[in-house]
Amino acid sequence: MAEIPEVVAHRGASADRAEHTRSAYELALEQGADALECDVRVTRDGHLVCVHDRRIDRTSSGRGVVSALTVAAMAEVDFGRSAAEYGVLTLDELLGMARASGRPTRLFVETKHPVRYGGLVEHKLVALLARHGLAAPDDPRDSPVFMMSFAPAAVRRFKEAAPRVPTVLLFSRFTGTRRGGVLPPWADLAGPDVRLLRDDPGFVSRAAALGRDTYCWTVDAPADIDLCRSAGVRYLATNSPGGTRLHLADPDSAQFGSVTG
């Protein structure tokens, strides 16, 4: 039987709690997620915050562009969905949550582009990891932090600044030689959309033959979970870490979906 993928909580347990909130990540940890995933952007006052969109309108009670707002301004904004949860989550806070979880918990950090401040987000990420002693792990395979982006220039820029921190090149279509599993030297893992694997599950083994593990997103349906496991995906990003872990442990179980713990 294929090895069980590591379960990565996509924006936290975002099927049950508002994405990128403290409670979403707390629940993901309670549900036993192996890793946490977040998107980061730079605020006007230079902080890295966990927000997917360019604006905070969709995910909060406030309005405005992240790069034009300060952390203090966003402290007055409700980011909750069914329960009030004020204040934007900073990457520094999330890193602290992962390290305080009482067990090894990786953090997959996606830098968003295009953005007003260009490559500043990668430079800020390297500086934050350096402050925590995480920018140069002794063994990259044991790194508690992985960097990801859809922007090749961003991944290359980060790798040049922190060569021992693993990187993931995210993509939603095959271009050039990528279908064959070939990645640039500055990308350590392949990061395909699960829809690509539905059509071509053999991609995972081709990448593995070239020394590249696969991080697959965003995997919620039982059939996709089974596909990722049988294909040999190493890291599986899901909005439902609890339900996904249950299904991986017992694929024949009828119980699946949100597990509020």
Backbone angles phi, psi at 167, to 5 degrees: -125, 150
Per the annotation, the verdict on 123 as an active-site residue is: no
Structure-token pair, residue 96: 């602290």
Q: Which of 10, 20, 47, 247 is catalytic?
A: 10
**Is the alpha carbon torsion for 81, 86, 91, 94 positive or negative?**
negative
Per the annotation, the verdict on 10 as an active-site residue is: yes
* Nearest CA among 232, 225, 230 for reference residue 208: 232
What gap in Å lies between CA 92 and CA 246, rounded to an integer?
30
Q: Which of 20, 47, 52, 247 is catalytic?
A: 52
Reduce the secondary structure of the chain to three states and give it as a string.
CCCCCEEEEECCCCCCCCCCCHHHHHHHHHCCCCEEEEEEEECCCCCEEECCCCECCCCCCCCCEHHHCCHHHHCCCECCCCCCCECCCEHHHHHHHHHCCCCCCEEEEEECCCCCCCCHHHHHHHHHHHHCCCCCCCCHHHCCEEEEECCHHHHHHHHHHCCCCCEEEEECCCCCCHHHCCCCCCCCEEEEEHHHHHHCCCHHHHHHHCCCCEEEECCCCHHHHHHHHHHCCCEEEECCHHHHHHHHHCCCCCCCCCCCC
What gap in Å lies between CA 86 and CA 151, rounded to an integer?
31
Task: Give the active site residues.
Answer: 10, 52
